[in-house]
């Protein structure tokens, strides 16, 4: 006799839905969970019947969440985290908290976070996911990461009270060059002087590149041509250190390389893209077993970078 179909989502449904969304197919999800594909297909059918709607579009290429299923799947992901927290308390393997960072935050904030976690919460496990602001914002919305750190994403909409934002610390952008560069001895380099040298820059349409270009345009000057474009600001620092080119970099990282004797920071007196680094999380992440300890360490790390200023907490869209 066939077992009666469940009337509500069970743990096995939750795990399957999360795994299909992560791996992109029923076959891959079944393999990851160690179950037969027919069983996975049956469980998905049960879940969609209980939800009262189709959750994934199916094709030979795999499974893609439907647009109107994203909110439900987000809730399922956080339910999975809450269930995993019970596993942790019962002695099962520790649950990682997934922190999405833009690269410059990884290099500036994460070392401070590691120091704070080591002192205050050594048992908390964190997985770092690097990406662009837009990509990480999408992953946060889909529940693929738990916390985002970087520039305030443009997708933060007024009135969306499900997200919490905390201002952590301010970051500035500075001009850099090799040690001994002609502009390194200048008390303040003018825009006209900056246009006389080749540049190594982030790719076009990036936030840093756009702000950098606007500074020249507002002064009635054409932005200098980029000799080299690179996605990695660390690569840009090393390339600038071995050439006559100028580049831009986050102020704290630039100061570290200047102290090591690799580069010089060129004083300009210009705002080349100052911005507040924010921490964003969905309100339901509070169910994560490591969340409170992580946030305490993150606030201490942010306050240290901000010079002792206590982070400001606000609702999304505020």
| Contact criterion met (CB below 8 Å) for 206 and 275 | no
| Entry field: residues in the chain | 318
Position 38 in a domain: yes
206 within domain boundaries:
yes
- pLDDT for residue 23: 83
Asked whether residue 161 falls in the same domain as residue 141, the answer is: yes
Q: Which of 72, 87, 102 is the last residue before a domain boundary?
A: 87
234 pLDDT exceeds 80?
Answer: yes
- More reliable by pLDDT, 301 or 14: 301
Report whether 270 contacts 194 (CB < 8 A).
no
Read off the tokens for 59.
Answer: 């094709």
Per residue in 195-221, pLDDT (tens digit) is 999 999 988 878 888 889 999 999 999
What's residue 137's pLDDT?
85
CA distance 101 to 98: 10
CATH at residue 120: 3.40.190.10
CA distance linking residue 209 with residue 40, whole number of Å? 47
Q: Would the pLDDT of 17 be above 60?
A: yes
149 and 222, same structural domain? Answer: no
- CATH number, domain containing residue 204: 3.40.190.290
In a domain, 216, yes or no: yes
Residue 159: pLDDT band by 50, 70, 90 thresholds?
A: very low
CA atoms in the 13 A half-sphere facing the CB of 13: 21
Structural domain harbouring 145? 94-170+275-315
Q: Per the structure, how many domains does the chain have?
A: 3
Residue 123 lies in a domain: yes
- Does residue 49 belong to any structural domain of this protein? yes
5 domain-assigned:
no
Q: Tokens representing 202?
A: 């982030």
For residue 251, name the pLDDT band (cuts at 50, 70, 90).
Answer: very high
Q: Are residues 279 and 258 part of one domain?
A: no
162 three-state secondary structure: coil
pLDDT tens column, 111-153: 999 999 988 888 888 889 998 888 888 888 767 788 999 988 7
């Amino acid at each position: 006799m066939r077992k009666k179909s469940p009337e509500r989502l069970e743990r096995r449904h939750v795990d399957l839905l999360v795994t299909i969304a992560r791996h992109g197919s029923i076959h891959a999800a079944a393999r990851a969970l160690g179950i037969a594909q027919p069983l996975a297909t049956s469980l998905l059918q049960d879940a969609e019947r209980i939800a009262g709607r189709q959750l994934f579009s199916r094709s030979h290429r795999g499974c893609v969440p439907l647009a109107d299923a994203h909110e439900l799947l987000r809730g399922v992901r956080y339910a999975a985290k809450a269930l995993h927290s019970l596993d942790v308390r019962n002695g099962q393997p520790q649950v990682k908290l997934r922190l999405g960072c833009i690269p410059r935050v990884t290099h500036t904030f994460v070392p401070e976070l590691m120091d704070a976690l080591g002192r205050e919460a050594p048992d908390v496990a964190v997985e770092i996911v690097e990406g662009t602001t837009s990509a990480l914002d999408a992953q946060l919305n889909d529940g693929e990461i738990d916390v985002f750190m970087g520039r305030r994403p443009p997708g933060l909409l007024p009135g969306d009270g499900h997200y919490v934002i905390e201002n952590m610390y301010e970051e500035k952008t500075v001009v850099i060059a090799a040690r001994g560069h002609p502009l390194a001895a200048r008390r303040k380099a003018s825009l006209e002087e900056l246009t006389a040298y080749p540049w190594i820059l982030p790719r076009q349409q990036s936030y840093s590149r756009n702000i950098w270009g606007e500074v020249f345009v507002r002064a009635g000057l054409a932005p200098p041509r980029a000799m080299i474009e690179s996605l990695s600001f660390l690569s840009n620092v090393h390339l600038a250190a071995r050439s006559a080119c100028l580049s831009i970099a986050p102020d704290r990282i630039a100061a570290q390389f200047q102290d090591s004797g690799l580069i010089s920071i060129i004083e300009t007196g210009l705002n080349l893209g100052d911005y507040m680094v924010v921490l964003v999380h969905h309100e339901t992440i509070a169910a994560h077993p490591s969340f409170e300890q992580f946030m305490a360490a993150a606030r201490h790390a942010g306050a240290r970078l901000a010079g002792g200023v206590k982070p400001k907490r606000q609702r999304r869209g505020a």
